[in-house]
Structure 1
Amino acid sequence: MSGAAESLSAGRIAMPGLSLPLIDHIWRVRGAVPIDPALSAADAFDRLGPLLQTPGTTMSTEGDALVYRKHNPAAQDKLATFTRGRLWIERAGAGAVLRFDLFSHALLFAFLAPLLFLGFAQLAVTINAWEAASPEAAEKAEKKDEKPKPVKKLNPVDEFLGAPAPEDPNKKKDEKKDEGRHSPDEGYFMAGLFALIYLVGRWLEPWLVRRRFRRALAQPPAAEATAGAG
């Protein structure tokens, strides 16, 4: 990390990607963390080393910024949610901040998943309507050709004793009415679940990454800590 540039530009560094603000907001997280103004860029990036130097992570410098990418990050990786990002230092007067611009494929998936499951639910509704239409049309055609059958009546004695009335022979039992139907409930449930996951993650993940950057920047790098202990 010592190869990082000592002086970083104060201008905004754009991350290549989607340019539409509303689309970017779905899976892109920007922010800033205050740092000690005495820290150089190289020192700041060295302190972030334990977060970035993980299996599957590659780092490089592009101009005055540190850029990282993650390929199949492990679950233990504290930045696994954000698979690529750019970090740089901005100085204003006597203060300084670490700015970050991060992308999360997990947030994008959680945003798109409800749309997918809503599509499955709507497909189930459409299939049910189509399957119900065919038997109803056939039944109506049969009723046109058939003559109504007389309905039997109870004799007065049976009626007085409370015997059930005879069934109407013109009414057909639909014992398999719900058999084989495709329920959209599972699709609605999964859509709601992933929508909740996205909303929680969209608030929680940026808060967690700020806290992790803040803690890492507050700790001296391992080499400095070892030297101080000696």
Structure 2
Amino acid sequence: MAVFDGGVLSIESKKEGSVLQYDLRSKTLLFCFLAPFFFLAMAELTIVVKHLQKSSTEVSQSLAEKEKKEEARYLIQSPIDKALGVPAPEKKTDKDDEKQGKKKLSPVAAYVFAGIFSVLYVIGRISEALSVKSLFRKYLS
């Protein structure tokens, strides 16, 4: 009964004898029930944002390709650098851009958290029901 914070206990008389009826409520289990929906909404939001960024990235990539062609002309080493033996400047590659912090959006983390809270709800619901039932039987017998 550690998780339950409210409810009703009643004793009803029947032909077989007195029967304990209980209806317990838990804010913690309610949170574990509602949390997966929040994380699934966050996953869907991530997918939508990723889709919107993809279309804007395509436009910016076409502009970036034009700029790269122009930059390729300017990577010429100066005569002073040649005389001093300085190595030629390296051209940037797409891998360098990815390493500099372009993180790809992924809904996987939201799905993982939704799964964790779903499992917590199911386990909590089953285990607390069994523990409450055994606790009441122990005290009433």
> Which whole-Å deviations, capped at 9, do the CAs of 1:158-214 have from their partners, x for residues lacking one?
xxxxxxxxxxxxxx9533358232332111100011111111222221111111111
Distance in 2, Cα, partners of 1:184 & 1:138? 24
Distance in 2, Cα, partners of 1:115 & 1:141? 39
2:94 corresponds in structure 1 to 174
Which residue identity is paired with 2:113?
A: M
Equivalent positions of 1:79-118 (< 5 A) are 79-118=1-40
1:130 corresponds in structure 2 to 52
Unmatched 5+ residue regions in structure 2? 70-91
Equivalent position SS for 2:94: coil
* TM-score after normalising by structure 2: 0.68
Q: Which has the higher helix share?
A: 2
Equivalent position SS for 2:35: helix
**How many matched pairs?**
114
| Cα distance, 1:142–1:186 mapped onto 2, change above 3 Å | closer
* TM-score after normalising by structure 1: 0.44
> Which whole-Å deviations, capped at 9, do the CAs of 1:88-147 have from their partners, x for residues lacking one?
111112511111111111111111111111112222222222222212123346779xx9
Distance in 2, Cα, partners of 1:173 & 1:125? 27
**How many percent of aligned residue pairs carry the same amino acid?**
38
Equivalent position SS for 2:124: helix
Which entry has the higher C-alpha Rg, 1 or 2?
1
| Cα distance, 1:182–1:97 mapped onto 2, change above 3 Å | same
Equivalent position SS for 2:32: helix
1:207 corresponds in structure 2 to 130
Could you tell me which of 191, 208, 217 is aligned with 2:140?
217
| Cα distance, 1:179–1:138 mapped onto 2, change above 3 Å | closer
Unmatched 5+ residue regions in structure 1? 1-78, 148-171, 219-230
